[in-house]
């Protein structure tokens, strides 16, 4: 978990227990996101002091126990107590030993347009690791892994979760050793990392959220869902309805002007949509992805009258207004780059690696952070803006800062992330009412670190609902649906070319923050009616979806036939089941599901039927749907309790 080099070249470290202390409350690490102790959980923190007198290094291990939530948050703090410098080459957040067991590792890998694909592999003797050295938490491996007993399924069995509260390079290592014991080490990736710890200086690792469930993977997911919603995301957005939005990206891409956007807003309003988000292309000379990034002033050729006029016109329609930024990036073809070429990360003697024609700004620099704060602040002050989409469209390469000395370059990746957090902190402090949606070429930075500032994150640039089922399902192992940005887009889909019915697109997007992202002008009158009905349904089930307990209902034997999931109200008296058939069959078996989380002795009615079925029958006997045919048929079934007792209690969607 720890690698150090002392000034004399020694790489040995022998940390021994000194003392410990237990005090009430959680941790508030400076400059890093963290799991918030809201005062409503009886949190206690255990601190264990270790030290190596020869190295004069102390390590404080923090364990914040959120007992009611079945969570322990772990972090470590290194303190150089000597007079000599210590070079830290690795400082993990947690190292957890399990002395027994046959475990599988579940990790969430992917790529652009296919994030968080769950893969389950048995541990082998040796080390398996899931990490990212891309300067961001990445599309490629999410900073979340699960250790599950070989027998563990969705609803039974033991499993442990490990989730970083961090958005940069990370590594989750799982090692099964010769004695059969298992060790998980989770923390900042050691690739490219080193930190010079001067006399008296401290280094704080990011937090890692540890949890356990003896009730299978659905139980573990619930622990994380609850904690992220209540203790990680900003509290001020927790209990407010988020608006159903229209985003213009897949409707117009870069080709828009004020007239087109206002037309889209009018149509959106007529359908019941509540916010318009203006995506990439409103600033500088940004007419395609070759130029303009970094120049955060409005392009008046496209938007005469500026953002103020546009936003005010949109407000007159009764809609909220949101705006896209990509703060950490710069195009070579921009005023910003021409004036400050040294503000981009790049090696002194090497042509920089380009991705999407752009470079990454050196967020470790105060002047870069100040420039970004000032320009974003000015824009947010200039017009009534309710929401920001904060994008990040490439990985970080050439991680070399022009300001840091040669022997401190290994600090750049972590300082980069600290700089990003500092900017987010300033923007959210200056504009607490503006909700930020995170984004990174889709879901390339979907992590608890970003969720600390942004209560929702765009899940993927792949808006094909059938591909989305897998992406959102993979995401659901660690993150609640209230954080998953998901939209209905056009058919055929722009990424895959697949044709899907509006019902399947609506049901899939509804299990998220919900919005639309397509040219509304192209909808038929019938489709418009369907959209209106979808929005009504979403409002009806809003709290059930956002706060209800979520269950994946698939079983291995039906996984290639359909995807099904369920939301259950806290009191267990109301449930919403969604099911999308992904492989339609001739002479098919009837889709069959077993509900979860109901009350055994309560009778439930499936909306539109007269039949009363007990919770026990629905959970253990199951529920069979009629045969489904056609292109990707999708259904939503609402179950409500039908007892005197139940009627007396408020159901969640009625809030």
> Looking at 201-209, 439-447, 556-564, 646-654, which segment touches ligand DGJ (CB under 6 A)?
439-447
Stretch that binds ligand DGJ, among 142-150, 183-191, 434-442, 575-583 (CB under 6 A): 434-442
Nearest distance from residue 60's CB to ligand DGJ, in Å?
A: 39
Report the residue from 77, 158, 279, 554 that binds ligand DGJ according to the rule CB under 6 A. Answer: 279
Q: Segment contacting ligand DGJ (CB under 6 A): 424-432, 437-445, 493-501, 544-552?
A: 437-445
The residue among 243 and 444 lying less far from ligand DGJ, judged by its C-beta, is 444
Exactly one of 143, 187, 243, 441 binds ligand DGJ (CB under 6 A); that residue is: 441
Establish if 461 lies at the interface with ligand DGJ (CB under 6 A): yes
Output the smallest distance, CB 436 to ligand DGJ, in A: 14
Q: How many residues interact with ligand DGJ (rule CB under 6 A)?
A: 11
Cα–Cα nearest to 114, from 85, 141, 153, 94: 141
- The CB-of-358 to ligand DGJ minimum distance in angstroms stands at 10
Closest contact distance (angstroms) between CB of 538 and ligand DGJ is: 20
Q: At closest approach, how far in Å is the CB of 83 from ligand DGJ?
A: 49
C-alpha span between 603 and 586 (Å, rounded): 34
For the question of residue 527 being annotated catalytic, the response is: yes
Q: Report the run of H or E that residue 309 belongs to, with start and end.
A: helix 306-316
Is residue 121 within 8 Å of residue 129, measured between CB atoms? no
Nearer to ligand DGJ, 324 or 550 (CB): 324
> Backbone dihedral region of 586: left (phi > 0), alpha (psi from -120 to 50 degrees) or beta?
beta
Pairing status of strand 456-458 against strand 435-438: parallel
Smallest distance from ligand DGJ to CB 125, Å? 40
How would you class 9 by CB atoms within 10 Å of its CB: exposed for 0-12, middle for 13-18, buried for 19 or more?
A: exposed
> Contact letters (x/-) for ligand DGJ, 359-378, by CB under 6 A?
--------------------
Q: Find the binder of ligand DGJ among 393, 462, 486, 489 (CB under 6 A).
A: 393
Q: Based on the residue annotation, tell me whether 14 is a catalytic residue of this protein.
A: no
CA atoms within 13 A on the CB side of 149: 17
Pairing relationship of beta strands 245-247 and 562-568 according to DSSP bridges: unpaired
* Number of Cβ within a 10 Å radius of residue 83: 10
Interface mask toward ligand DGJ for 68-107; x: CB under 6 A: ----------------------------------------
Nearer to ligand DGJ, 283 or 324 (CB): 324
Asked if 467 and 479 touch (Cβ cutoff 8 Å), the reply is no
Among 26, 33, 442, 478, binds ligand DGJ (CB under 6 A): 442
Q: Least separation, in Å, of the C-beta of 460 and ligand DGJ?
A: 8
Nearest-approach distance from CB 479 to ligand DGJ, in angstroms:
17
Looking only at residues 196 through 225 of this chain, which bind ligand DGJ when binding is defined by CB under 6 A? none
Distance (Å, rounded) from C-alpha 328 to C-alpha 473? 29
**Stretch of residues binding ligand DGJ (CB under 6 A), selected from 189-197, 209-217, 435-443, 530-538:** 435-443
State phi, psi for 221 to the nearest 5 degrees: -60, -40
Which of helix, strand or coil describes residue 295? Answer: coil
DSSP category for residue 283:
B
Of the candidate residues 280, 328, 332, 411, the single one contacting ligand DGJ (CB under 6 A)? 280
Binding status of residue 391 toward ligand DGJ by CB under 6 A: yes
The residue (of 91 and 251) whose beta carbon lies closer to ligand DGJ is 251
- Least distance CB 391 / ligand DGJ (angstroms): 5
Give yes or no for a contact between 175 and 131, defined as CB atoms under 8 angstroms apart.
Answer: no
Closest distance to ligand DGJ from the beta carbon of 260 (Å): 17
Kindly tell me which of 446 and 538 has the beta carbon lying closer to ligand DGJ.
446
Residue whose CB is less far from ligand DGJ, 203 or 297: 297
What residues does 116 pair with on adjacent strands? Answer: none
Residue 190 or residue 280: which is nearer to ligand DGJ going by CB? 280
Q: Counting every residue, how long is the chain?
A: 655
For the chain, how many helices (H) and strands (E)?
14, 35
What order do you get walking across the sheet with 275-278 strand by strand?
484-485, 456-458, 435-438, 387-390, 320-325, 275-278, 245-247, 515-517, 487-489
Closest CA to 39 of 26, 29, 50, 52: 26
Spatial distance between the Cα atoms of 46 and 62, rounded to a whole number of angstroms: 6
Range 319-338, binding ligand DGJ (CB under 6 A)? 324
Q: Which of residues 241-260 bind ligand DGJ (CB under 6 A)?
A: 249
User: Which of helix, strand or coil describes residue 509?
Assistant: helix
The verdict on 458 binding ligand DGJ (CB under 6 A) reads yes
Question: Least distance from C-beta 463 to ligand DGJ, angstroms?
Answer: 9
108 lies in the binding site for ligand DGJ (CB under 6 A): no
By the rule CB under 6 A, 284 interacts with ligand DGJ: no
Q: Look at residue 512 and give its three-state secondary structure.
A: coil
Identify whether the C-beta of residue 110 lies closer than 8 Å to the C-beta of residue 134. no
Looking at the Cβ atoms of 162 and 249, the one nearer to ligand DGJ is 249
Q: How far apart are CA 161 and CA 182, in angstroms?
A: 14
3-class DSSP state for residue 646?
helix
- HSE-up of residue 477 (Cα within 13 Å, Cβ side): 29
- What residues pair up with 533 in beta bridges, in sequence order? none
Nearer Cβ to ligand DGJ (253/373): 253
Q: Measured between alpha carbons, how far is 170 from 142 in angstroms, rounded to an integer?
A: 9
Nearer to ligand DGJ by Cβ, of 71 and 376: the residue is: 376
Which of 483, 478, 528 minimizes the C-alpha distance to 502? 528
Nearest residue to the partner ligand DGJ, using Cβ = 280
Question: Could you say which of 215, 257, 313, 527 is catalytic?
Answer: 527
Question: How far is the C-alpha of 161 from the C-alpha of 224, rounded, in Å?
Answer: 9
Among 104, 190, 447, 554, the active-site one is 447
Active site residues: 447, 527
Site residues, ligand DGJ (CB under 6 A): 249, 279-280, 324, 391, 393, 439, 441-442, 458, 461
């Amino acid at each position: 978990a720890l690698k150090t080099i002392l000034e004399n070249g020694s790489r040995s470290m022998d940390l021994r227990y000194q003392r410990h202390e237990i005090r009430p409350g959680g941790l508030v690490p400076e400059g890093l996101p963290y799991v918030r102790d809201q005062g409503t959980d009886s949190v206690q923190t255990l601190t264990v002091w270790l030290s190596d007198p020869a190295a004069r290094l102390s390590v404080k291990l923090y364990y914040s126990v959120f007992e009611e939530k079945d969570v322990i948050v772990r972090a470590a703090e290194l303190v150089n107590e000597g007079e000599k410098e210590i070079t830290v080459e690795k400082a993990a957040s947690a190292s957890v030993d399990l002395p027994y067991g046959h475990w599988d590792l579940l990790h969430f890998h992917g790529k652009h347009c296919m994030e968080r694909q769950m893969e389950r592999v048995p541990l082998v003797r040796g080390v398996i690791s899931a990490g990212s050295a891309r300067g961001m938490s990445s599309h490629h491996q999410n900073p979340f892994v699960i250790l599950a007993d070989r027998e563990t399924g969705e609803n039974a069995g033991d499993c442990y979760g490990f989730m970083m509260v961090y958005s940069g390079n990370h590594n989750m290592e799982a090692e099964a050793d010769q004695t059969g014991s298992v060790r998980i080490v989770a923390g900042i990736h050691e690739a490219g990392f080193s930190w010079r710890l001067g006399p008296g200086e401290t280094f704080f690792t990011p937090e890692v959220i540890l949890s356990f469930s003896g009730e299978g993977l659905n139980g573990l997911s619930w622990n994380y869902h609850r904690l992220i919603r209540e203790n990680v995301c900003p509290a001020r957005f927790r209990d407010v309805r988020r608006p159903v939005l229209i985003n213009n990206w897949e409707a117009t891409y870069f080709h828009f002007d004020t007239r087109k956007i206002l037309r889209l807003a009018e149509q959106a309003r007529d359908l019941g949509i509540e916010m318009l988000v203006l995506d990439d292309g409103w600033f500088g000379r940004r007419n395609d992805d070759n130029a303009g990034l970094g120049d955060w002033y409005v392009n008046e050729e496209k938007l005469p009258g500026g953002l103020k006029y546009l936003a005010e016109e949109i407000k007159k329609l009764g809609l909220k207004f949101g705006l896209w930024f990509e703060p950490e990036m710069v195009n070579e073809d921009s005023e910003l780059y021409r004036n400050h070429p040294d503000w981009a990360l790049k090696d002194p003697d090497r042509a920089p690696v380009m991705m999407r024609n752009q470079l990454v700004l050196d967020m470790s620099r105060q002047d870069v952070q100040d420039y970004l704060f000032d320009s974003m602040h000015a824009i947010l002050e200039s017009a009534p803006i309710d929401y920001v989409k904060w994008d990040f469209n490439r990985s970080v390469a050439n991680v070399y800062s022009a300001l840091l000395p040669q022997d401190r370059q290994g600090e750049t990746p972590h300082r980069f992330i600290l700089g990003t957090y500092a900017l987010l902190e300033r923007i959210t402090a200056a504009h607490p009412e503006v909700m930020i949606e995170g984004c990174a070429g889709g879901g390339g930075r979907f992590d608890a670190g970003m969720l600390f500032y942004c209560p929702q994150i765009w899940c993927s640039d792949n808006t094909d609902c059938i591909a989305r089922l897998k992406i959102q399902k993979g995401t659901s192992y660690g993150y609640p649906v209230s954080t998953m940005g998901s939209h209905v887009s056009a058919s055929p889909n722009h990424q895959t070319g697949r044709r899907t019915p509006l019902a399947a697109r609506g049901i899939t997007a509804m299990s998220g923050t919900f919005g639309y992202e397509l040219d509304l002008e192209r909808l038929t009158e019938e489709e418009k009616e369907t959209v209106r009905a979808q929005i009504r349904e979403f409002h009806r089930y809003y709290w059930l979806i956002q706060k209800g307990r979520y269950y994946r209902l698939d079983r291995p034997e039906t996984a290639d036939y359909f995807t099904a999931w369920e939301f259950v109200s806290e009191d267990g008296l109301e449930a919403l089941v969604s099911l999308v058939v992904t492989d339609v069959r001739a002479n098919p078996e009837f889709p069959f599901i077993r509900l979860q989380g109901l009350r055994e002795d309560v009778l439930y009615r499936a909306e539109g039927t007269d039949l009363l079925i007990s919770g026990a029958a629905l959970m253990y006997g199951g529920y069979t749907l009629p045969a489904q045919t056609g292109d990707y048929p999708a259904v939503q079934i609402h179950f409500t309790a039908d007892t005197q007792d139940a009627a007396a209690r408020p159901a969640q969607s009625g809030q």
